[in-house]
Amino acid sequence: MPRARAHVFIATSVDGFIARDDGGIDWLLRLHARVPEGEDCGYAAFIAGVQAIVMGRRSFEQALAFDPWPYALPVVVMARRGVAVPDALQGRVSVSADAPQGLLERLGAEGVARVYLDGGQLVQAFLREGLVDELTVTTVPVLLGRGRSLFGELPADVDLELLDSRAWPFGFVQNRWRVTGPSGESGASR
- Sequence ranges of the domains in the chain: 5-155
184 pLDDT above the threshold of 60: no
100-137 burial string, b = 16+ CB within 10 Å, else e? beebbbbbbeeebebbbbbbbebbbbbbbebbbbbbbb
How many CB atoms sit inside 10 A of residue 148's CB? Answer: 21
**pLDDT the model gives residue 53:** 98
Selection from 57, 62, 55 nearest residue 28 by Cα: 62
Candidates 166, 160, 185, 189; CA nearest to 8 is: 160
pLDDT tens per residue, range 69-104: 999 999 999 998 878 899 999 999 999 999 999 999
Write down the pTM of the prediction: 0.90
Cis peptide before 68 (omega within 30 of 0): yes
Q: Is 58 exposed, middle or buried (0-12, 13-18, 19+ CB in 10 A)?
A: middle
Q: Which of 131, 98, 107 is nearest to 1 (CA)?
A: 107
Kindly tell me if the per-residue pLDDT of 165 is higher than 50. yes
- Cα distances (angstroms) measured from residue 13 to each of 89, 108, 163, 190: 31, 33, 21, 30
Rounded to whole angstroms, the Cα distance separating 151 from 133 reads 15
112-162 per-position pLDDT tens digit: 999 999 999 999 999 999 999 999 999 999 999 999 999 988 888 999 999
Q: How far apart are CA 131 and CA 129, in angstroms?
A: 6
CATH of the structural domain 5-155, one choice from 3.40.190.10, 3.10.50.40, 1.10.4080.10, 3.40.430.10? 3.40.430.10
pLDDT for position 186: 37
